[in-house]
């Protein structure tokens, strides 16, 4: 077997560094070599574990410079979207555990306060760093303490409104704050929007450096090079204007991979005692040092296990299509015949399957007849943008991960539900998501949508049900609707050639999957797969014959189905992959109002009232009370 070039290289400098205090013992001349070793260590780690790679590789030099100059953890470094923090973890006491990252009982793939004093703020979602950093800076000054607070924001996070809310506030206060804009021209997907274009112009013009070179020649340059001076001054003003108008002292753009530039600038800022907030515009490359080996459209944002030498990722034998891919393919097929169907995502086209839709309408997307919209990391805007489209008679499908939809809850309530606008929400990653842990688990969407008037809430048990629900959603024109589905493969597949013949389902109608006696299980969504597995165990080992029903809808609830189950069985178990207050609450309320609980035993299975650390999805379900064994135990207990 040929030797792995990354694993075989020695890392003598990194080997002697356990904490930032060790890093400070190195000379500045050693730091570029350390950067190579840290990059190598990051690649080698992720090749074995899978996970986020590109963002970390893009901040190798920046991470070293920050810990070399500042006195962490007294000085506080806040990483926006913690997936860029792998190198930071290696340098802050977790080098020997980095191989456990995103693994069961291992390090988190994001910053996590309970994991290390160097992780001063937890971040799995984007655009939180400036707000939290400003809060820490204000608290520092209230306590009359002295330390620096540095927020590193980037990887597309500057497209979110929260970042500007924080900057607007920071610019009007007198708390010293350092913001580093990690401008890598990427998020998960290629960046979109005017701000991205603006930053690209700044980076390409290198306006600040041009101005500096001209100013050094004053006063002669004014007469000798009048046009050059005028041009450079204009470019500098455009460059610094938006940030300086918000009250920040702007520095940049600078090369975020050049330690000879980074360290002097950070040292000067650290020693400066002014109370003006500072923004340093660093231009970096996501996936730096490995893009030429493992090419990807998302600049190595997230990868499976791979061979570090060749960049080849591990292959899955005969994979079934994911729910996301099935959604994207089906929506594209329906949209071919219905020109009012539009698709919207918030920087997650590939994750939600809408890259398939976008490709199908590539020609239209490059014209005024646009069918697909990626609005960037801006979930609030995505929802209200869709509401505006719905007002004009279009059929917008907004595909957002469950955990990210939380960021737009007010817009869902105020801009969509109250106005009964027919926005179709596609809630991806509903339920546990595995290695990304609690920050990305889709735990709450059933509960936070179930109590909103005017909503149709659906959850498919498999691929066929998903396509039926998409077809139904295209016809719901008088109210909002939502379809939730989990991460991963569907237990069944779909024939896309015969979508026209697919069964029509009625709003609010569930179905009996299997007839039994005595005990009934009413399942909502893809967790039905666990129910069927538990049923086999109960049938084979305990001779228990269950009735199994697929609710399909949380709202409107199939009241006749629930009433039938309650009257014909001595016990009823409900199950959902969501938190308390969701589907079971709707069922229980109906049972109480209909006086159906007198002779009925009932048990509700939903996620336990706790956050579950990253693990295998099946294990997370078990730890939260909705795994296969939990269902078996619930049936044996209630019979």
What positions carry a catalytic annotation?
Answer: 286, 379, 407
Nearest to 335 by CA among 374, 364, 376: 364
End-to-end CA distance of the chain: 58
Closest C-alpha to 80, from 127, 137, 116, 148: 127
* Distance separating alpha carbons of residues 520 and 571, to the nearest angstrom: 6
Task: Locate 295 and state its tokens.
Answer: 């090419």
Tokens linked to 196:
């991205």
CA–CA dist 43, 40 (Å, integer) = 5
- Rounded to an integer, what distance in angstroms lies between the CA atom of residue 609 and that of residue 617? 17
CA 141 to chain centre: 33
CB 358 within 8 A of CB 349: yes
What residues contact 497, with CB distance under 8 A and at least 6 apart? none
The residues near 505 (Cβ < 8 Å, ≥ 6 apart) are 468, 469, 472, 552
Which helix H or strand E contains 347, and what residues bound it?
A: none
Helical spans, DSSP H, in 346-504: 349-352, 354-360, 362-365, 379-391, 402-405, 409-410, 445-450, 463-473
What would you report as the CA-atom Rg of the chain, rounded to the nearest whole angstrom?
Answer: 27
* Cα–Cα dist 40/36, whole Å: 6
Tokens 């700044």, located at residue = 202
Handedness of CA 100, 104, 108, 114 (dihedral sign): negative
Collapsed DSSP state (helix, strand, coil) of residue 415: helix
- Measured in whole angstroms, how far is the alpha carbon of residue 338 from the centre of its chain? 30
| Strand-pair category, 547-550 with 511-514 | antiparallel
Phi, psi of 151 (to 5 degrees): -105, 130
Structure-token match 């607007």, residue found: 168
Structure-token pair, residue 153: 């924001």
- Residue 364 and residue 371 in contact, taking contact as beta carbons nearer than 8 Å: yes
Angle (CA) 114-50-282 rounded to 5° is: 70
Task: Work out the burial of residue 592: count CB atoms within 10 Å of its CB; fewer than 13 is exposed, 13-18 middle, 19 or more buried.
Answer: exposed
């Amino acid at each position: 077997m040929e030797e792995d070039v990354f694993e075989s290289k020695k890392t003598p400098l990194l080997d002697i560094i356990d904490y930032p205090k060790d890093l400070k013992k190195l000379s500045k001349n050693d730091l570029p070599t350390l950067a190579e070793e840290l990059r190598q260590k990051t690649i080698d780690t992720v090749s074995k574990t899978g996970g986020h790679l590109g963002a970390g590789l893009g901040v190798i030099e920046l991470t070293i410079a920050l810990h070399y100059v500042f006195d962490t953890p007294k000085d506080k470094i806040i990483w926006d979207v913690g997936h860029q923090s792998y190198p930071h973890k290696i340098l802050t006491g977790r080098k020997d555990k980095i191989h456990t990252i995103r693994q069961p009982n291992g390090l988190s793939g994001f910053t996590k306060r309970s994991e290390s004093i160097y992780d001063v703020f937890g971040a799995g979602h984007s655009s939180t760093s400036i707000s939290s950093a400003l809060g820490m800076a204000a608290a520092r000054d209230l306590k009359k303490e002295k330390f620096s607070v540095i927020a590193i924001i980037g990887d597309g996070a500057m497209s979110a409104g929260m970042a500007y809310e924080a900057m607007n506030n920071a610019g009007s206060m007198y708390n010293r704050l350092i913001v580093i804009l990690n401008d890598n021209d990427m998020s998960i997907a290629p960046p979109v929007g005017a701000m991205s274009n603006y930053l690209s112009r700044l980076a390409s013009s290198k306006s600040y450096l041009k101005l500096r070179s001209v100013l050094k020649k004053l006063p002669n340059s004014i007469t000798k090079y009048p046009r050059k001076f005028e041009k450079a001054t204009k470019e500098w003003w455009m460059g610094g204007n938006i940030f300086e108008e918000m009250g920040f002292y702007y520095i940049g753009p600078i090369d975020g991979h050049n330690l000879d530039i980074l360290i002097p600038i950070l040292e000067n800022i650290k020693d400066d005692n002014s109370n003006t907030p500072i923004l340093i515009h660093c231009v970096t490359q996501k996936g730096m040092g490995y893009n030429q080996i493992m090419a990807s459209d998302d600049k190595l944002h997230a990868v499976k296990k791979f061979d570090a030498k060749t960049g080849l990722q591990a292959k899955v034998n005969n994979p079934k299509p994911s729910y996301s891919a099935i959604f994207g393919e089906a929506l594209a097929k329906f949209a071919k015949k219905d020109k009012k169907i539009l698709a919207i995502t918030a920087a997650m086209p590939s994750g939600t399957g809408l890259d398939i839709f976008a490709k199908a309408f590539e020609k239209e997307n490059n014209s005024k007849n646009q069918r697909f919209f990626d609005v960037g990391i801006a979930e609030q805007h995505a929802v209200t943008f869709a509401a505006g489209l719905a007002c004009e008679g279009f059929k917008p499908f907004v595909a957002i991960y469950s955990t990210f939809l939380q960021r737009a809850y007010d817009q869902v309530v105020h801009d969509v539900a109250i106005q009964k606008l027919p926005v179709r929400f596609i809630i991806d990653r509903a339920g546990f998501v595995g290695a990304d842990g609690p920050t990305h688990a889709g735990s709450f969407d059933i509960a936070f949508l179930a109590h909103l008037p005017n909503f149709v809430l659906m959850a498919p048990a498999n691929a066929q049900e998903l396509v039926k629900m998409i077809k139904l959603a295209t016809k719901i024109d008088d109210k909002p609707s939502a379809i939730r589905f989990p991460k991963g493969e569907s237990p069944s597949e779909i024939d896309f050639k015969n979508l026209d013949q697919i069964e029509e389902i009625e709003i609010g109608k569930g179905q009996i999957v299997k007839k039994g006696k005595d005990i009934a299980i009413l399942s909502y969504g893809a967790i039905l797969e666990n129910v069927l597995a538990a049923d086999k165990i109960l049938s084979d080992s305990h001779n228990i014959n269950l009735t199994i029903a697929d609710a399909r809808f949380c709202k409107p609830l199939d009241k006749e189905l629930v009433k039938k189950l309650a009257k014909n069985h001595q016990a009823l178990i409900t199950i959902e992959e969501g938190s308390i207050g969701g589907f079971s609450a709707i069922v229980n309320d109906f049972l109480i109002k209909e006086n159906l609980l007198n002779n009925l035993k009932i048990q509700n299975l939903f996620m336990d009232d706790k956050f579950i650390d990253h693990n295998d999805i099946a294990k997370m379900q078990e730890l939260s009370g909705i795994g296969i064994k939990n269902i078996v135990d619930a049936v044996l207990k209630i019979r």
